[in-house]
């Protein structure tokens, strides 16, 4: 244990929003030895803390959890490292990130899961690996779920690729059910999307780009939800859901009490296919930006509780992988440092979704999806992971100043409302805004 | 990333109407046989990532008629084969002294990528399924040689609109000047979404409906391999959409038949139509040179 963790930190004067504990009031928060020691109304906490943080006028929330990031290690450290990616996470208010296994090599063994969690990687926030569901993410033979889970992985997925084969998906959900282990699906019927680079609609037709129909996503979600309903106790999590029809399938599963959850990315609630403009590759990702109708449906689902979590799908790429023909450019954008600002600007300011709901989408929601005990809330005894933000602060995002090694973002120069002020992991301040 | 250099021609869609008008009038004044050497000493690179006969030779003749030097760079036999990126190829060509790049590429938007990184004009000679602006301009020049004006005309495009950059550019240009456009073909070639390209476009599956009263019939090449990919039977396509002399009678008596080439006789049109009195297919090719002279003169600031 480091000395910092033995210290105590008193967060004073802030407005605590902790949806899991149903708190939405002015509260002081005392952190000690890496845990939450006490929550009390202003000035009621007695005793001396080693350090104080003045949170007057700010929102204090449980540490944010990102269910979907690509930190590119092992193997692609020119795009991102665990150190740089978690630094970007901290700057974005995330105290925990779940890493995707589509690295080089693919994280498909317990050994690689342990390697990711090793302190030598230099992570400044908690890293929860998600391992491959099939060997090499080739969609054939299942990985050793039990060993992987034992090594500390929180879920399995073949992200970047779907598990297409019905039998393989059925076996994955069955084995997951036995182990209480979620299976995360990147829902894309790749038989319909080969050589495609954006969403199929008027914009793709105008630009002359081969395009992915919305049905390529919803058909897979539909099948998966049906399987999840059939397989008792199985846990299905739909990654980066982007279409109105996929939401319908998720609602169907939830109504039937199947253990089906889903996440939505900030770019899918902030942008649509038209924003691709004249082939701007910083607007190319998979799933692609969808239609205005899909965006409306996503906004409604974020508000009404259908969506469980906001996840960034932070996908860093080197400039040379993006500054090429649109069809050849890598899919994906960075997102850790703009997620909260987009949520406050687009969901709270523009759509009037309450801050309590937005905080839930970053905390209690994702913690439930992967069962992360003592995270996503700051009740006494929980981990001392805290995110402090100013919901009214106006600022301009400068991609060049990003902590990520890569700057492939469509939000460079955007003016936002809402900014992270400090990020605390295990009682230690890992990020503080200037 | 920067705005394209002045004089670039990336597509018709974002070109101002008065620019199109001045290009059309300049094209009609250009004469390859009696051209002044407006571009003497200029170096024009023809950068072709895709095969071409008409477009490449007519750009080359156009450049040479105006006194410019040209060089042809193709993917095979150049550094492109070794994996050089579009932008790096552009920087290289700029460094050896190119004043203008005429570029054909199988990927939509590639000329936009090039133009946003270079300080010399980039001319799009066809990018994937996106646009083919010089073809649309030469088609307008061709129509204007046979019709008094574009306004009020009816034009019909028949065939594989989905894969066609020629069709997209033609729709942008002709509708801008008041031509009423109809697109015709099976859903695989003319998806419903095609009607959203520009306001007022009409989509029909019936060739008789498409031809009735039309002034301009534009046919597109049908690639047999695409028919296979789309699961359309060749004989069905021919039965429903081939332009025959009998069908052409449904159009106006003075209707013209156009085709960007290469034509496949016996598939999208019969030999009788291709060689018939209403065919202006050879005219289109002929008008390619003066039209591209106008484009190059404008690109290099000599459009006087």
Give B109's contacts in chain A (Cβ within 8 Å): 207, 209, 278-279, 325-327
Tell whether the model's pLDDT for residue A333 goes beyond 50: yes
Q: How far is CA B185 from CA A280, A420, B165, B214, B230, in A?
A: 31, 55, 16, 16, 13
Q: What is the mean pLDDT of residues B222-228?
A: 73
Q: Look at residue A4 and tell me whether its pLDDT is greater than 50.
A: no
Measure the CA–CA gap between A29 and B57, rounded to whole angstroms.
76
Residue B35, token pair as written in the block? 């051209």
pLDDT digits (tens, 9 = 90+) for A156-197: 999 999 999 999 999 999 999 999 999 999 999 999 999 999
| Radius of gyration, CA atoms only, chain A | 21
**Strand, coil or helix: A65:** strand
- Taking the C-alpha atoms of residue A334 and residue A222, their distance in angstroms, rounded to an integer, is 28
> Whose CA is closest to B116, among A280, A319, A411?
A280
CATH code: domain B17-131+288-299 is 3.40.50.1370
When pLDDT is cut at 50, 70 and 90, the band that residue A6 belongs to is low
Are the Cβ atoms of A207 and B105 closer than 8 angstroms? Answer: no
Contact A122, A151 (CB under 8 A): no
Percentage above 70 pLDDT, chain A: 99
Is B134-284 a domain of CATH 3.40.50.720?
no
- Contact state of A325 with B113 under an 8 Å Cβ cutoff: yes
Selecting from B13, B14, B85 the residue whose C-beta is nearest the C-beta of A324 gives B85
Confidence of residue A80 (pLDDT cuts 50, 70, 90): very high
* Domains delineated in chain A: 3-60+383-394+413-432 (2.30.40.10), 63-369 (3.20.20.140)
DSSP symbols for A223-288: HHHHHHHHSTT-EEEE-S---HHHHHHHHHHHHTT-EEEEEE-HHHHH--GGGGTTT-GGG--SSP
**Can you tell me the mean pLDDT for B219-242?**
84
Helix (H) or strand (E) holding B224: helix B224-229
If one counts every other C-beta atom within 10 angstroms of the C-beta of residue A228, the result is: 26
In the three-class reduction of DSSP (H, G, I as helix; E, B as strand; rest coil), residue A11 is classed as: strand
pLDDT category, A2, cuts 50, 70, 90? Answer: very low
> Is the Cβ pair A205, B13 closer than 8 Å?
no
Closest CA–CA distance from residue A320 to any residue of chain B (Å): 9
List CB contacts of B220: < 8 A, sequence separation 6 or more: B157, B158, B159, B160, B161, B164, B166, B167, B259, B260, B268
C-alpha pair distances (Å), A2 with each of A6, A8, A145, A246, A426: 7, 13, 32, 46, 10
- Asked if B193 lies within 8 A of A323 by C-beta distance, the reply is no
DSSP B190-213: S-GGGGGSSTT-EEES-HHHHHTT
pLDDT of res. B63: 97
Phi, psi of B62 (to 5 degrees): -60, -45
Packing angle of the helix pair B54-65, B133-146 (nearest 10 deg): 80
Answer whether A207 sits within 8 Å of B197, measured CB to CB.
no
Going by their DSSP bridges, the two strands B100-105 and B43-48 should be labelled as parallel
Q: Which of A313, A382, A385, A390 is catalytic?
A: A313
Helix residue ranges per DSSP H, A51-144: 82-91, 110-117
Model confidence over A106-156: pLDDT tens digits? 999 999 999 999 999 999 999 999 999 999 999 999 999 999 999 999 999
Active site residue A313: yes
The DSSP output letter for A314 is B
Q: Are A326 and B109 within 8 A, CB to CB?
A: yes
**DSSP tag of A141:** S
Asked if A205's CB is within 8 angstroms of B194's CB, the reply is yes
Contact B67, B39 (CB under 8 A): yes
By Cβ distance, the residue of A208, A320, A323 closest to B130 is A208
Residue A399 has pLDDT above 90, yes or no: yes
- Which site among A205, A292, A318, A320 would you substitute to test the B interface, given the most B Cβ atoms closer than 10 Å to its Cβ? A205
Q: Which two tokens stand for residue A366?
A: 């994702």
Tell me which H or E stretch contains A169: helix A166-179
Residue pairs spanning A and B at CB distance below 8 A: 63
Residue from the list B85, B109, B128 with its beta carbon closest to the beta carbon of A278: B109
Percent of chain A with pLDDT over 90: 97
Q: Where are the beta strands (DSSP E) in chain B?
A: 43-48, 69-74, 100-105, 122-127, 154-158, 180-184, 202-204, 216-219, 256-258
Q: What pLDDT shows up at residue B228?
A: 66
Which residues 175-214 of B have a C-beta within 8 angstroms of A? 191, 193-194, 196-197
Helix (H) or strand (E) holding A8: strand A8-12
Name every chain B residue with its beta carbon within 8 A of the beta carbon of A327.
107-109, 128
Question: Which chain A residues contact residue B105 at CB under 8 A?
Answer: 325
Mean pLDDT of chain B: 95
User: Where in chain B is CATH 3.40.50.1370?
Assistant: 17-131+288-299, 134-284
* Residue A279 backbone zone (phi > 0: left; psi -120 to 50: alpha; other: beta): left
Residues of B in contact with A324 (CB under 8 A): 85-87, 113
Q: What are the tens digits of pLDDT across the range B168-221?
A: 999 999 999 999 999 999 999 999 999 999 999 999 999 999 999 999 999 999
The rounded mean pLDDT for chain A is: 97
Q: What is the average pLDDT across A223-243?
A: 98
Q: Which member of A201, A208, A323 has the closest CB to residue B108? A: A208
- Check pLDDT > 50 for residue A351: yes
């Amino acid at each position: 244990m480091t000395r910092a963790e033995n210290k105590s930190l008193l967060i004073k004067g802030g407005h605590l929003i902790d949806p899991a504990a149903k708190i939405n009031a002015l509260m002081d928060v005392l952190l000690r030895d890496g845990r939450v020691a006490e929550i009390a109304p202003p000035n009621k906490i007695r005793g001396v803390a080693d350090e104080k943080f003045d949170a007057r006028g700010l929102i204090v929330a449980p540490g944010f959890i990102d269910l979907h990031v690509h930190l590119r290690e092992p193997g692609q450290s020119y795009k991102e490292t665990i150190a740089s990616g978690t630094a970007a996470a901290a700057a974005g208010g995330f105290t925990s990130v779940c890493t995707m296994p589509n690295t080089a090599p693919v994280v498909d063994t317990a050994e690689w899961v342990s390697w990711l969690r090793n302190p030598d990687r230099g992570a400044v926030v908690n890293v929860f690996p998600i391992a491959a569901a099939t060997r090499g993410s080739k969609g054939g033979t299942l990985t050793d779920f039990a060993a992987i889970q034992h090594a500390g992985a929180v879920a399995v997925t073949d992200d970047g690729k779907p598990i297409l084969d019905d039998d393989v998906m059925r076996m994955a959900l069955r084995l997951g059910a036995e182990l209480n282990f979620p299976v995360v699906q990147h829902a894309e019927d790749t038989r319909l999307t080969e050589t495609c680079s954006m969403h199929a609609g008027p914009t793709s037709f105008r630009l002359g780009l081969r395009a992915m129909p919305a049905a390529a996503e919803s058909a897979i979600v539909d099948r998966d939800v049906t399987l999840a309903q059939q397989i008792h106790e199985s846990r299905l999590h739909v990654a980066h859901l982007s279409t109105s029809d996929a939401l319908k399938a998720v609602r169907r599963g939830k109504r039937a009490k199947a253990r089906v959850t889903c996440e939505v990315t900030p770019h899918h609630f902030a942008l649509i296919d038209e924003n691709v403009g004249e082939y701007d590759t910083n607007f190319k990702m998979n799933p692609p930006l969808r239609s205005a109708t899909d965006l409306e449906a996503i906004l409604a689902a974020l508000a009404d509780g259908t969506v469980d979590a906001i996840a960034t799908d932070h996908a860093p790429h080197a400039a040379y992988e993006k500054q090429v023909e649109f069809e050849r450019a890598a899919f994906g954008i960075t997102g850790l440092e703009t997620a909260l600002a987009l949520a406050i600007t687009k969901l709270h300011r523009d759509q009037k979704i309450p801050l309590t709901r937005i905080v839930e989408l970053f905390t209690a929601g994702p913690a439930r999806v992967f069962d992360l005990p003592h995270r996503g809330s700051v009740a006494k005894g929980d981990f001392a992971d805290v995110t402090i933000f100013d919901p009214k602060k106006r600022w301009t995002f400068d991609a060049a100043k990003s902590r990520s090694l890569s700057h492939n973002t469509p939000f460079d120069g955007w003016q936002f409302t809402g900014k992270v002020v400090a990020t605390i992991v295990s009682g230690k301040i890992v990020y503080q805004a200037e | 990333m920067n705005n394209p250099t002045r004089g670039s021609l990336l597509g018709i869609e974002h070109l101002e109407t008065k620019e199109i008008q001045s290009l059309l009038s300049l094209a009609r004044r250009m004469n390859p046989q009696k051209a002044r050497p407006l571009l003497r000493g200029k170096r024009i690179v023809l950068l072709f990532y895709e095969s071409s006969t008409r477009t490449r030779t007519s750009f080359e003749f156009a450049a040479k008629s105006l006194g410019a030097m040209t060089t042809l760079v193709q993917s095979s036999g150049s550094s492109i084969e070794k994996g050089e990126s579009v932008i790096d190829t552009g920087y290289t060509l700029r460094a050896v002294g190119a004043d203008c790049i005429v570029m054909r590429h199988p990927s939509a938007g590639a000329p936009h990528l090039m133009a946003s990184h270079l300080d010399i004009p980039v001319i799009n000679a066809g990018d994937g399924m996106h646009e083919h602006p010089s073809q649309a301009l030469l088609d307008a020049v061709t129509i204007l040689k046979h019709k008094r004006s574009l306004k009020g005309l009816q034009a019909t495009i028949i065939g594989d609109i989905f894969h066609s950059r020629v069709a997209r550019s033609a729709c942008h240009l002709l509708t801008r000047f008041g031509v009423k456009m109809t697109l015709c073909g099976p859903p695989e070639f003319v998806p419903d979404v095609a009607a959203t390209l520009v306001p007022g476009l009409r989509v029909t599956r019936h060739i008789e409906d498409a031809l009735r009263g039309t002034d301009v019939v534009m046919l597109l090449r049908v690639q047999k391999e695409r028919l296979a990919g789309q699961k359309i039977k060749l004989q069905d396509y021919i039965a429903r959409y081939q332009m025959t002399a009998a069908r052409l009678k449904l159009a106006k008596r003075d209707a013209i038949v156009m085709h960007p080439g290469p034509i496949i006789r016996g598939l999208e049109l019969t030999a009788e139509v291709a060689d018939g009195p209403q065919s202006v297919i050879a005219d289109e090719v002929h008008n390619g040179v003066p039209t591209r002279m106008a484009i190059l003169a404008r690109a290099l600031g000599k459009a006087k």
